[in-house]
Structure 1
Amino acid sequence: MHARSALFDVYGDHLRTRGNEAPVAALVRLLEPVGIAAPAVRTAISRMVIQGWLEPTMLEAGRGYAATEQAIRRLDAAAERIYRTTRREWDGCWHLVFLDPIRQRADRNRVRAGLGWLGYAELSDAVWISPWPQPELTGLLGGEGATAATATATDFQPAGLPASCWDLATLGEEYAEWLERVREVEPVDDHDDPDEAAFAQRFSLVHEWRLFLFRDPGLPDELLPAAWPGREAAAHFTAEAERLKPGADRYVDRCLQ
């Protein structure tokens, strides 16, 4: 687990409802149970400030860092996908993005990675597709200095062509393997500090589940296989996240005090 990714999880899963800010000492304490040392936390904070995700602020407890507006928008979008807070009805319309040529390879790779995170897949060279309109698309392209034309389509030949742009077979295997592994967890009450154990377990659960966002486009249910392992995995994640939340919240509040 990288410190930068872990900090995103802390701000998104715990600090989003606690003012989006925390003292440096509290951030260090929060990441200690998941095996991230203080020097790595401080280095990651510095890099996230340079990248525009965090900004320094003075708190009663001392120097701290707050999530920027850019970070808050990304965290809210991620939370919506992680916890599936919005149920969407698909209208059968596919959204297409026709990328203009991007000369620099590094810029091109960043745009491709960003499109994948938003849930797009490459239909053909420089043509990307998603079943949903993605509000963050304009910000992504503008931030990278990229331009594109967009369009919508409903008819494809063969009809299953768009869904085949994603490797659903491999993704389904990953969901099944993850579910088998995370079902075997040690009871938090067996630890000296059950709240810390609940925080660590929930943190790892959310962190691993968030990684699926980079691979799962969130296709409409009617486009998924009948026995799609992602459904059972999502149900387990939701139940475990709720079960561990009270203890995790108590530990976070302790660290922030």
Structure 2
Amino acid sequence: MAAFVEALLDRFHERTPIRAGSLIVTVFGDAVVPRGGVLSLTSLHEIMRAFRISDTLVRTALSRLVSDGWFERWKVGRNSYYQLTSQGRGAFAQATQRIYADPPQDWRGGFDLVLLENAQDRQTAKAKLSEAGYGALGPDLFIAAAAATGGEGAFLRLAATPADLPTARRLVERAWPLEEIESRYTRFTNIYSGTLKALQSGAPFTDLDALLVRILLIHDYRRAVLKDPLLPPPLLPEPWAGTAARALCGTIYKTLLPAAERWIDAHAQNDEGALPEADGGFRQRFAAFPAIADAGLLG
């Protein structure tokens, strides 16, 4: 195993407790769903052992994920197979758009204001607004860039146009914890900048190494980007740490993708045999970022 891969795994295992279930969801969402969505337990064990996660911990995590409605499982002979339920696929589909697609760039100068009223479950309503990209200006008042979608429910919705850009940025600073979001991106960049340097210097790696780093990369990037409202650039500080983090993630991902897919082709199995080819949208992930070799960055 390559030294830069060992370093990432060491760092991953410094976190306690190890959230095997969350990593399994990343494996499926990133690598399995685009290729039919079904994976054998044998194949999953092979991947998770490479992450230094025991079969016992994997089985415990899967049992919990099935009980919580995230996965379904079935057996064919002595073999077990898993796939995300419609609930799990829906949740990761929302995350997929935020992780892999280019964030919005346009802003027409306005905001959506949402006043929460007559909601039976206020905590659930607030959580849904947050997931839709809204920030809080008060206990019941939420704001989003005008292009935001979501926020349907027991709400009073208004359109607002700030007097000028500095006023708009002050609203943004009040509604969202930008410093905390930036710190997440900075941590991500600090971790994976060493990976980029290793790849640029031509460090050798196996197909399995590529798959492991690809999954860890998305697992960690997801932790940052899903907390980000993905505001348009005019509303963000300059420079914005999320821009560098996204470029880093996209470049590493595109560089590792061919080797990682080779490992899946050769080793991953579903209930009918080898996994099918990835769906059409898969190749559009991080479309704006070239692989290192394609960008002429190899030393």
> Could you state the TM-score of these two structures normalised by the residue count of structure 1?
0.81
Match of 1:255 in 2: 268
2:208 alignment partner AA: E
1:62 aligned to which of 67, 74, 79:
79
Q: Residue deviations 1:187-206, cap 9 Å, x none?
A: 59545xx1111111111111
Q: Which runs of no fewer than 5 residues in structure 2 stay unpaired?
A: 1-17, 275-299
Q: Residue deviations 1:7-27, cap 9 Å, x none?
A: 211111011111111112222
Does the aligned pair in 2 maintain the 1:30–1:252 contact within 8 Å?
Answer: no
Match of 2:155 in 1: 149
Q: Residue deviations 1:96-149, cap 9 Å, x none?
A: 33334778xxx76555455434432211012222224334x55xxxxxxxx531
1:171-190 equivalent positions in 2, closer than 5 A? 171-185=181-195, 190=204
Q: Residue deviations 1:214-248, cap 9 Å, x none?
A: 32111111111221121111111100011111121
Deviation at 1:89, TM superposition (A): 2.7
Tell me the percent identity. Answer: 28
Asked whether 1:22 is paired with 2:39, we answer yes
- Is the partner of 2:61 in helix, strand or coil? helix
Deviation at 1:53, TM superposition (A): 1.6
> Could you state the TM-score of these two structures normalised by the residue count of structure 2?
0.71
Match of 1:128 in 2: 142
1:224 aligned to which of 217, 224, 236:
236
Q: Residue deviations 1:52-105, cap 9 Å, x none?
A: 2211234688321221222222212111111124645333332333334778xx
Match of 2:169 in 1: 160
CA separation in 2, counterparts of 1:156 and 1:149? 21
Match of 1:197 in 2: 209
1:163 alignment partner AA: V
Moved over 6 A (4+): none
CA separation in 1, counterparts of 2:54 and 2:256? 24
Deviation at 1:37, TM superposition (A): 1.8
Instruction: Using CA pairs under 8 Å that are at least 6 residues apart, name the structure with larger relative contact order, 1 or 2.
Output: 2
Q: 1:48 to 1:232 in 2, by over 3 A?
A: same
1:74-153 equivalent positions in 2, closer than 5 A? 74-85=91-102, 87=104, 89-100=106-117, 112-131=126-145, 132-135=147-150, 137-138=151-152, 148-153=154-159
CA-based RMSD of the aligned residues comes to 2.8
Deviation at 1:161, TM superposition (A): 3.9
CA separation in 2, counterparts of 1:18 and 1:34? 21
Does the aligned pair in 1 maintain the 2:20–2:61 contact within 8 Å?
Answer: yes
2:179 aligned to which of 165, 169, 175:
169
Does the aligned pair in 2 maintain the 1:56–1:64 contact within 8 Å?
Answer: yes
